[in-house]
């Protein structure tokens, strides 16, 4: 075999090997790698399990659930072992809301809702990133949607005084509304006038 | 290739060829795509204007560097290496690198919003080069608004304009208010009306305005060829168009109307002449398939002062069905039906004109709904929804806007009436909206068998950007647990519609 032929064959082999390597990595990416969100979801659920087990002394959390009749929020108390960090406490409140009320009241969050992330900023804004499952638990309409939003906001700000307003994100994205009604374009301050019994 | 033929059997040759084709095919398929389209960029100078083609690469506007520099000064030298370009421009030296957003200008390093690119052998810079670098290279003023396709260089004060559309009984009237005098020359091209606005440079606040209207579909500002003009698209063919310049050329009014039967033959009366006026009346134009003007005469002259506009918004639509009842009634269809009844009731009073933000089953954004009402100069805005109200059907609840960022809803308006962002303009109308809600609520109290919830505030997104007294009216309950029979009942809808129309009439008459 001539020198030129050898060089030619080596070049062909290199190209072929490169192609195979590329195909292999492509196949791995397409067929074997898990979708990125499944790992994220697993982490979120693991942290939820840890939070639910609790660590501190027994205290009381006040949660607000939508009334089924009339435009109002109804307060419910329940024992809770607060986590040390405020971000984790926000998660605890959201998980408790997702568990639902003990009385016959509305559900502000579907049970399947995952708390993807919580961030607190120095100006007292809590950014809560929820999974899109959230909307499946909300009754349709202006009243029902706004009550669900204020149920989340009032519950968080009442239990974690450092939080003054709440910005709700869905699947990591800013959204206009949940289901076409409640304005989520900015961080929401609590509305205490909605709570039954408050003036 | 000869070597390949000599050393390989035929089957191997085919296999290798197939593999090479497969690999190159996959490579082409998976190569990251660059979004690329071409447009023009207009450079306005005090006495001239030049057009340079721009490229949009990965959503960033890019301009060719050397033509841009040639427009504003003289190139003294150029050194190009593989990934690097050095330009001597006047007394300055510029150095750029392919793929790098940093530009070295003499001893300063400036950072652009996107990396410099070499496309088809041309050095391309992102459009913020105009303000970041060019403004330092030239002693002239450089006025460029990011995202637009025009820059003003030198002592130029570009004008602007606002648009207002009013619907009339047999047509629509467009009013353009310019900041400076313009001259108008109208042509009809491809079924659209094109109004050339003379030589004065214009920087529009919005590039286009869309209407849901039986006469006008949209109005677009265009200066891609360096000639500022307005392109008006009619909603249907065969409309008459009568543009007219008023107030010395600062107001352009255009009447759009359906041709009368039989077609009018009398010439349009000239506008009253005023000594200081330079107003010109363009001949009426009908859009046709080819360029040219078709003389149509006899404009629709409005009778009496215009009636106030009520903007009616049917919630949801298109892909967004809204709520659904147990028996399959969709919110988007139910409220569209109700809104049509309210429209009829309002027109019957003879006291209002009506603008619909959604006609048919269309996807309409919140912004488009607000713009439709704001552009029409609506006196009132009503958005209709159906949802779960908890109690027995039928129920009605009325809401005013509650800003989610304000601590407690105030009947007096927002926190700072002087600085309200355009998209939160409803905060300026909270007081009047409350009055509107109370008037409708009081009138609804006479509706037998219907529970009316006290008017309250809610962060209803549709209301946020509406520049008029605005309320959301929700009927219920429409939810998966109950049937929608009481809400689809024609008697209920007719009563509700007539009460809403009466309430607005009373409010308009000042008798609320």
Domain limits, chain B: 37-153, 161-257, 309-508
B316 at interface of A, judged by CB pairs closer than 8 A: yes
Distance from CA of B504 to the nearest CA of A (A): 22
Decide if B23 and A23 are in contact by the 8 Å CB cutoff.
yes
Query: Residue B274 pLDDT more than 70?
Result: no
Element (H, E) at B441: helix B430-444
Each residue's pLDDT tens digit, B317-359: 988 889 988 888 999 999 999 999 999 899 888 889 998 998 7
Query: Residue B256 pLDDT more than 80?
Result: yes
On whether the CB atoms of residues B286 and B236 are closer than 8 A, the answer is no
Average pLDDT over residues B429-448: 90
A185 at interface of B, judged by CB pairs closer than 8 A: yes
Element (H, E) at B331: helix B331-349
Q: Which of A145-159, B57-71, B206-220 has the lowest mean pLDDT?
A: B206-220
Q: Which pLDDT belongs to residue B407?
A: 56
Torsion sign across C-alpha atoms A8, A10, A11, A16? positive
Using an 8 Å CB-CB cutoff, list chain B residues near A142: 385, 387, 397, 399, 458, 460, 472, 474
Query: Residue B275 pLDDT more than 80?
Result: no
Element (H, E) at B219: strand B216-222
Distance from CA of B55 to the nearest CA of A (A): 29
Write down the CATH superfamily of domain B309-508. Zn-dependent exopeptidases (3.40.630.40)
CATH 3.40.640.10 fits B161-257, yes or no: no
Using an 8 Å CB-CB cutoff, list chain B residues near A19: 19-20, 22-23
Q: Which pLDDT belongs to residue B6?
A: 60
Using an 8 Å CB-CB cutoff, list chain A residues near B423: 185
Q: Which pLDDT belongs to residue B5?
A: 56
Decide if B19 and A19 are in contact by the 8 Å CB cutoff.
yes
User: Least CB-CB distance to B404: which of A4, A71, A183?
Assistant: A183
**CATH dotted code for B37-153:** 3.30.457.10
Q: Which of B123-137, B200-214, B270-284, B303-317 has the lowest mean pLDDT?
A: B270-284
How far is Cα B213 from Cα B68, in angstroms, rounded to an integer?
Answer: 42
Residue-level length of chain B: 512
Instruction: Give the mean pLDDT of chain B.
Output: 80
How far is Cα B85 from Cα B124, in angstroms, rounded to an integer?
Answer: 11
Average pLDDT over residues B17-38: 65
Q: Which pLDDT belongs to residue A55?
A: 55
Query: Residue B134 pLDDT more than 70?
Result: yes
A71 at interface of B, judged by CB pairs closer than 8 A: yes
DSSP string for B267-293: PPPPPPP-TT----BPPPB---SSSB-
Q: Which pLDDT belongs to residue B421?
A: 78
Q: Which pLDDT belongs to residue A54?
A: 53
For an interface test with A, the pick among B458, B465, B478 (most A C-beta atoms closer than 10 Å) comes out as: B458
Query: Residue A38 pLDDT more than 50?
Result: no
Using an 8 Å CB-CB cutoff, list chain B residues near A154: none
| Strand-pair partners of B396 | B452, B475
User: Least CB-CB distance to B323: which of A22, A140, A165?
Assistant: A140
Using an 8 Å CB-CB cutoff, list chain B residues near A146: 402, 458-460
DSSP string for B20-41: HHHHHHHHHHHSPP--EEEEEE
Nearest CA to B253 out of B370, B168, B351 is that of B168
% chain B with pLDDT above 70: 83
Q: Which pLDDT belongs to residue A29?
A: 60
Torsion sign across C-alpha atoms B420, B421, B424, B429? positive
* Count of pairs with CB atoms under 8 A, one residue in A, one in B: 131
Query: Residue B58 pLDDT more than 60?
Result: yes
How far is Cα B137 from Cα B125, in angstroms, rounded to an integer?
Answer: 15
Query: Residue A93 pLDDT more than 60?
Result: yes
The residue ranking higher by pLDDT, B413 or B447, is B447
Query: Residue B462 pLDDT more than 80?
Result: yes
Each residue's pLDDT tens digit, B375-398: 888 999 999 999 988 777 789 999
Distance from CA of A6 to the nearest CA of B (A): 10
Average pLDDT over residues B271-292: 36
Average pLDDT over residues A4-17: 89
């Amino acid at each position: 075999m001539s020198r030129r032929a050898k060089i030619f064959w080596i070049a062909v082999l290199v190209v072929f090997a490169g192609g195979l390597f590329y195909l292999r990595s492509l196949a791995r990416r397409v067929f074997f790698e898990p979708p990125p969100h499944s790992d994220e979801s697993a982490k979120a659920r693991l942290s939820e399990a840890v939070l639910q087990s609790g660590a501190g002394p027994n205290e009381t959390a006040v949660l607000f659930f939508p009334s089924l009749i009339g435009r109002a929020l109804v307060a419910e108390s329940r024992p809770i072992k607060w986590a040390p960090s405020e971000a984790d406490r926000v998660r605890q409140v959201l998980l408790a809301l997702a568990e639902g009320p003990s009385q016959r009241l509305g559900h502000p969050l579907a049970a399947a809702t995952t708390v993807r992330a919580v961030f607190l900023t120095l100006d007292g804004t809590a950014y809560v990133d929820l999974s899109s499952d959230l909307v499946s638990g909300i009754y349709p309409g202006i009243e029902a949607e706004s009550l669900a939003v204020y149920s989340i906001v009032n519950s968080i700000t009442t239990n974690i005084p450092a939080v003054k307003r709440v910005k709700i994100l869905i699947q990591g994205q800013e959204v206009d509304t949940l289901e076409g009604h409640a304005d989520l374009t900015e961080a929401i301050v609590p509305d205490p006038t909605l709570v039954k019994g408050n003036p | 290739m000869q070597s390949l033929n000599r050393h390989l059997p035929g089957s191997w040759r085919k296999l290798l060829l197939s593999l090479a084709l497969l690999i190159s095919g996959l490579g082409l398929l998976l190569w990251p795509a660059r979004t690329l389209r071409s447009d023009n960029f207009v450079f306005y100078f005090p006495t001239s204007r030049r057009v340079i083609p721009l490229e949009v690469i990965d959503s960033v506007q890019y301009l060719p560097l050397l033509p841009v520099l040639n427009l504003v000064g003289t190139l003294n030298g150029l050194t190009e290496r593989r990934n690097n370009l050095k330009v001597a421009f006047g007394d300055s030296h510029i150095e750029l690198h392919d793929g790098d957003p940093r530009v070295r200008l003499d001893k300063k390093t400036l950072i652009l919003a996107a990396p410099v690119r070499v496309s088809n052998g041309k050095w391309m810079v992102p459009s913020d080069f105009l303000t970041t670098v060019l403004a330092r290279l030239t002693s002239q003023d450089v006025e460029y608004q990011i995202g637009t396709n025009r820059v003003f260089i030198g002592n130029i004060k570009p004008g602007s304009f606002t648009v207002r559309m009013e619907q009339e009984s047999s047509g629509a009237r467009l009013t353009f208010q310019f900041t400076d005098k313009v001259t108008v020359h109208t042509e009809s091209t491809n079924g659209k009306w094109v109004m050339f606005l003379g030589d004065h440079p214009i920087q529009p606040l919005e590039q286009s305005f869309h209407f849901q209207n039986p006469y006008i579909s949209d109005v677009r500002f265009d200066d891609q060829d360096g000639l500022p003009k307005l392109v008006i698209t009619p909603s249907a063919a065969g409309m008459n168009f009568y543009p007219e310049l008023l107030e010395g050329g600062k107001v352009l009014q255009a009447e759009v109307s359906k041709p009368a039967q039989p077609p009018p033959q009398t010439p349009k009366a000239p506008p009253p002449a005023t000594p200081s006026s330079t107003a010109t009346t363009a001949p009426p134009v009908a859009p046709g398939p080819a360029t040219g003007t078709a003389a149509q005469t006899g404009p629709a002259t409005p009778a009496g002062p215009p009636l106030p506009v009520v903007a009616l918004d049917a919630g949801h639509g298109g892909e967004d069905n809204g709520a659904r009842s147990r028996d399959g009634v969709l919110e988007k269809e139910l409220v569209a039906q109700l809104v049509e009844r309210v429209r009829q009731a309002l027109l019957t009073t003879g006291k209002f004109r009506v603008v619909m933000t959604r006609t048919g089953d269309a996807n309409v954004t919140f912004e488009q709904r607000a713009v439709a009402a704001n552009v029409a100069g609506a006196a009132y805005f009503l958005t209709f929804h159906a949802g779960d109200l908890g109690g027995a059907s039928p129920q009605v609840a009325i809401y005013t806007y509650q800003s989610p960022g304000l601590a407690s809803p105030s009947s007096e308006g927002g926190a700072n009436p002087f600085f309200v962002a355009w998209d939160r303009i409803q905060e300026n109308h909270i007081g009047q909206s409350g009055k509107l809600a109370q008037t409708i609520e009081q009138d609804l109290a006479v509706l037998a068998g219907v529970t009316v919830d006290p008017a309250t505030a809610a962060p209803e997104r549709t209301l946020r950007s509406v520049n008029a007294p605005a309320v959301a009216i929700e009927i219920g309950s429409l939810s998966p647990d109950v049937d929608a029979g009481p809400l689809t009942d024609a008697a209920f809808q007719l009563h509700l519609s007539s009460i809403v129309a009466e309430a607005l009439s009373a409010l308009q008459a000042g008798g609320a």
